[in-house]
């Protein structure tokens, strides 16, 4: 690609619909022992890539709370490969699994500190919990099976290894999802 289509000034709305295909291409390249170095497009933004099996169950999910790359396309390519190969909950994705794997890209919008669980809505916002020991748990919005703010907070605490009664700082964030 050339010209404005690959510009770093391309908006999220312009680059977003291409992100799932880009994530898949980056995973294919990694499974073939190659690296995909996409032309930088879109704003620098944090993103998560979620992989799901054909039955909808989670197969991998890794992302960032701050961009690690100068453009969104490069960030998505980076975290897609990590979700497929480095999620500690799963073995690396095999080439045979990839055709039946769906890919969702969540681009995080700015984080907002909140005072309490009453300001959460798991259908609209992801949550970040932090404790004084530096542990951090993140849960995206719209996670299947997470139906209440209390459940969302409980899962994020568990992911971080933070006791359910320990004091935490809470933040929420919205996402733009591309499937």
> What's the pLDDT score for residue 59?
98
Q: What is the CATH number of domain 112-178?
A: 3.30.1490.150
> What's the pLDDT score for residue 41?
85
Cβ neighbours of residue 55 closer than 8 Å, sequence gap 6 or more: none
> In the chain, where are the structural domains located?
3-108, 112-178
> What's the pLDDT score for residue 40?
83
Reported as type and span, the H/E element at residue 106 is: strand 102-108
pLDDT digits (tens, 9 = 90+) for 40-51: 889 999 999 999
pLDDT digits (tens, 9 = 90+) for 83-96: 999 999 999 999 99
pLDDT digits (tens, 9 = 90+) for 115-129: 999 999 999 999 999
Q: How far apart (Å, rounded) are the C-alpha atoms in residues 10 and 144?
A: 31
Q: How confident is the model at residue 7 (pLDDT cuts 50, 70, 90)?
A: low
* Inter-residue contact 161 to 2 (CB < 8 Å): no
Asked whether the whole model's pTM tops 0.75, one would answer yes
Question: Cα 36 to chain center, whole Å?
Answer: 19
Q: pLDDT averaged over the chain?
A: 93
Homologous superfamily (CATH) of 3-108 is Hypothetical protein ph0010; domain 1 (3.30.700.20)
For the chain, the C-alpha Rg in angstroms (whole number) is: 17
Q: How confident is the model at residue 81 (pLDDT cuts 50, 70, 90)?
A: very high
Q: Are strands 58-63 and 169-173 parallel, antiparallel or unpaired?
A: unpaired
């Amino acid at each position: 690609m050339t010209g404005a289509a690959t510009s770093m000034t391309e908006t999220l709305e312009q680059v977003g619909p291409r992100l799932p295909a880009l994530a898949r291409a980056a995973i294919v390249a990694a499974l073939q022992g190659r690296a995909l170095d996409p032309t930088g497009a879109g704003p620098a933004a944090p993103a998560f890539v979620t992989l799901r099996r054909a039955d909808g169950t989670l197969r991998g999910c890794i992302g960032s709370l701050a961009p690690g790359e100068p453009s969104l396309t490069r960030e998505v390519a980076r975290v897609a490969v990590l979700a497929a190969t480095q999620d500690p909950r799963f073995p690396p994705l095999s080439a045979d699994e990839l055709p039946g794997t769906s890919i969702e890209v969540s681009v995080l919008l700015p984080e907002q500190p909140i005072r309490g669980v009453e300001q959460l809505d798991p259908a609209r916002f992801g949550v970040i919990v932090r404790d004084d020991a530096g542990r951090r748990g993140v849960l995206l919005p719209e996670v299947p099976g997470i139906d209440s703010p209390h459940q969302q907070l409980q899962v994020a605490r568990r992911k971080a290894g933070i006791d359910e009664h320990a004091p935490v700082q809470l933040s929420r964030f919205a996402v733009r999802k591309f499937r």
